[in-house]
Each structure stands twice: as C-alpha cells, then as structure tokens.
C-alpha cells in the first residue's frame, strides 16, 4: 500500500508541475511598507464601522476622501456632504427593520471577518467579508442580520489612507451579491493594472 501511495503522489506532483501557470492564482509580492499601510487601512475600516454603529456621521464621512464615493443598495453618493445625507437618511429608516420588542430602534453592530488588501504606492484595493447583528431577536436577544462584501478602492492623501470608493454588496439581495468569481481576483487585477500603468508611464 505504501508503494501504491508513493506512486500516486509522484504522479500527482508531475501533473501539477506540468499544469499551465494560468490555472494557478498569482500571489502578490508585498513591499516593505505593506505592514504599515495595511495597519492604517484596517484602522480606517474599524473607524468606519464604529462611526456607523454609533451614528457619528462626522467621523463617518472623514473616512472618505473629499470626492469619495459610497455605493450601496439605496444608491450612490459622491462627496462627503452627499454621503453624509444619504447614510443619515438610511439610518433613520433602518429602525423599521431592526427594532426591539417595544418598537425602539435596535442596536446594530457591524463586524469585519477577513480582509484582503493590495497596496500599490498611494493606491489600494480591498475585499472584506462583513456581517451585521442587532438585539432584535426574541426577548431582545442578539440576532444575526445581513452580510456581504465590501469592495474598496483607497487613496493616500497627505499620508492618510481614505476610501476613494466603497461599494457595499449585500449577499442576500440578488442584484447586490458578489461573484460568481472570487472577488479577490478582481482586486488583484485592478492593482496589477494600476502598477502596470505606473511602470509604463516611467
């Protein structure tokens, strides 16, 4: 049996060695500054979530570039004033869907589970899995709500990372779901295209 297993393993390795490189995902090579950039971007993402959960719209809009874009199920807004108006209006109406047993607005809490972040100079692309929970279950217990993907484009302005565009995908809405392909490949493709354009310009 040991000999049979060894033969099968060798055959598998030969097949993999001969497989075309296009069949395999190319993993990015990170710069020495990647850890610092990623830490700042992850902090930005966390500040965004705390701001939306506590209705702190001043802090919320400050996570976007002045000409940043927010796209989600309710529409698309560009620029901080428009983003603020849209998200504040959305928050006012969300109580109709998330409320405690006595009818009061529920406490919403958003969480990011994992993020892939590509950085190329002063630009970055990210894909993150998020979910939302609230105390609108039986007896005001915690109930898992919606979930989806954040598709982000980021820009570094005066040394600070900000959202250039955030597209909020909701996996439970057919027209706002991700896939069927791996969203990370889209982020990598955008980052690779930008890096190639910078290289060509020089």
pTM value is: 0.81
Residue 99 CA from chain centroid, whole number? 26
**pLDDT the model gives residue 66:** 97
Return the residue matching tokens 């719209």. 57
Structural domains in the chain, CATH included, are 31-201 (3.10.450.50)
pLDDT score of 189 more than 80? yes
Cis-peptide, bond into residue 180, ω within 30° of zero? yes
Encode pLDDT of 105-156 as tens digits: 778 889 999 999 999 999 999 999 999 887 767 777 767 778 899 999 999 9
Give mean pLDDT, residues 29-39: 93
């Amino acid at each position: 049996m040991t000999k049979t297993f060894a033969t099968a393993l060798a055959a598998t390795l030969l097949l993999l060695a001969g497989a075309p490189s296009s069949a395999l995902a190319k993993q990015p090579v990170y710069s020495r500054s990647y850890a610092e950039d990623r830490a700042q971007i992850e902090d930005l993402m966390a500040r965004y979530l705390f701001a939306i959960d506590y209705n702190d719209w001043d802090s919320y809009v400050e996570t976007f570039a002045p000409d940043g874009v927010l796209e989600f199920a309710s529409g698309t807004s560009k620029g901080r004033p428009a983003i603020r108006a849209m998200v504040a209006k959305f928050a006012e109406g969300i109580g109709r869907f998330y409320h405690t047993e006595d009818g009061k607005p529920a406490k919403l809490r958003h969480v990011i589970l994992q993020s892939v972040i590509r950085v190329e100079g002063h630009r970055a692309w990210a894909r993150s899995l998020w979910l939302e929970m609230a105390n609108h279950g039986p007896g005001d217990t915690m109930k898992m709500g919606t979930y989806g993907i954040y598709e982000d484009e980021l820009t570094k302005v005066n040394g600070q990372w900000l959202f250039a565009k955030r597209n909020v995908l909701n996996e439970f809405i057919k027209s706002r779901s991700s896939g069927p392909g791996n969203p990370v490949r889209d982020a990598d493709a955008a980052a690779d295209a930008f890096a190639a354009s910078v290289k060509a310009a020089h």
